[in-house]
Amino acid sequence: MIKDTWFLLVNPSAGGGKAQNHIHEIEMLLIARNMAFKIDVTACPGDATNIVEKAILDGYRKFIVAGGDGTLNEVANGILTQKVVSSTQITLAQLPLGTGNDWRRTYGIPDNLADCIDIIKGGKTNIQDAGLIRYSKDGQIHKKYFINVAGCGFDAHVTADANRKKLRGKSGMLTYIGSLISSINTYKEPKVSVEIDGKKNELDLFTLLAGICKYAGNKMKLVPHAIPNDGLLQTIMVRKISRLKIIFNIARLFNGSFTKLVEVESGSCKKIKVESNSPLLLQVDGESIGVAPFEIEILPSCLCVIVA
């Protein structure tokens, strides 16, 4: 039986425990708006995907994620992996209680919880695209969906460092900037083969981004031309670049104007293949997942999300 009830999924660890601290407030806000809901709490990484798959089997079709982009990614993976109903028959909303909360910026979703819940109750939706990555980990090929931004090279190097700091209780924009600056000295550009819609390129790669949405890295407009429902991956590819030039242009990461640098190529495509003879890290929606080789493809119009 289909349930006309919101399934509220809370990641208590999100935002350094911020989501846990707001559970009662969220419940009161939902009750005040006469929004029927069931609540569940994740216990470990990956838990959200399994919880959502089971909830869909149980008849739930509306999900609110109280957490960050990592938790949102896990829930989206549950929606896109299940075979019970079409993924577009399931509605996904977020209460941004993580560290970066970048996915929601493309849609103008605010920080304030009461405003967010008003938007959810309003019910305005967008059918957005998703990306599918097939990647290597522990000698095996895995697959994962993403709904915001995937990146490899320097971007993934910074993400991995920032995530290590997060485990030690350090997070936020200043922590990410610190990881970015420290990674400038440790990252070495590998020789990489990048194939975009069948066109192959060999280069010393600084970073490569594939975006469904515009923002990543805690408020940075890293894929400024991304449109969530155009059926295309928006790409940003940066060739080898001087470290001094990176430092002088950090501020331009926040408004997207860094794309005007001569080392930056932007475009759009439906499929990307990347190979590297040396380790090349990969991140999706802010989570480190594996290394090259990997393939990315666009899945058009497959996820129904609440927007402002």
> Tell me: the pLDDT tens digits for 225-275?
999 999 999 999 999 999 999 999 999 999 999 999 999 999 999 999 999
**Model confidence band, residue 57 (pLDDT cutoffs 50, 70, 90):** very high
Cis preceding linkage at 96, omega within 30: no
What pLDDT is stored for residue 173 in this prediction?
66
Q: Is the pLDDT of residue 41 over 90?
A: yes
What pLDDT is stored for residue 171 in this prediction?
65
> Tell me: the pLDDT tens digits for 71-81?
999 999 999 99
Mean pLDDT over residues 35-49, rounded? 96
Distance CA 63, CA 83 (A): 17
What pLDDT is stored for residue 184 in this prediction?
86
Q: Is the pLDDT of residue 17 over 90?
A: no
Q: Which domains does the chain have, with CATH numbers?
A: 3-123 (3.40.50.10330), 130-300 (2.60.200.40)
Least confident span in 72-81, 157-166, 215-224, 279-288: 157-166
